């Protein structure tokens, strides 16, 4: 069955960095787009970044220039390098197995369990 497992979250001071990982199994990874999302307490889940099967990337304006999404097809994994973290980045971060079509990312039904990122001021 399809599984996505996030790791790498933790507690970091403002201005610090974290690198999240998403390990994917049960699917032909190379053909799929992956998205990173986050959900802060009391807020809706929002998309942070996506990467297509070909390696093209898109970012939410709030994280552009601070976050970098990448993938390693040999390891069936996607990463989110987060730099210059701010308290507003505090959230549970999730990866999603999606589809990229006609310039748009469509989230799929498969999500990871999430990893907590907490940024202290």
Q: Digits of tens for pLDDT over the chain (121 positions)?
A: 999 999 999 999 999 999 999 999 999 999 999 999 999 999 999 999 999 999 999 999 999 999 999 999 999 999 999 999 999 999 999 999 999 999 999 999 999 999 999 999 9
**Per-residue pLDDT at 102:** 92
Antiparallel, parallel or unpaired: β 104-111 and 115-120: unpaired
Spatial distance between the Cα atoms of 110 and 90, rounded to a whole number of angstroms: 23
The answer to whether 9 and 116 are in contact (CB under 8 A) is yes
Residues 6+ apart with CB under 8 A from 80: 19, 20, 22, 36, 48, 49, 67, 68, 69, 93
Backbone angles phi, psi at 91, to 5 degrees: 180, 170
Q: What burial class does residue 107 get, using C-beta atoms within 10 Å of its C-beta: 0-12 exposed, 13-18 middle, 19+ buried? A: middle
């Amino acid at each position: 069955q399809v599984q996505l497992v996030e790791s790498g979250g933790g507690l970091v001071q403002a201005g610090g960095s974290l690198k999240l990982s998403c390990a994917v199994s049960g699917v032909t990874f190379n053909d799929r787009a992956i998205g990173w999302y986050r959900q802060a307490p009391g807020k809706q889940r929002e998309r942070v970044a996506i990467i297509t099967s070909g390696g093209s990337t898109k970012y939410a304006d709030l994280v552009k220039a601070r976050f970098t999404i990448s993938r390693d097809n040999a390891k069936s994994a996607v990463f989110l390098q987060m730099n210059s973290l701010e308290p507003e980045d505090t959230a549970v971060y999730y990866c999603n197995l999606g589809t990229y079509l006609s310039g748009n990312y469509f989230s799929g039904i498969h999500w990871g369990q999430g990893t907590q990122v907490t940024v202290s001021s």
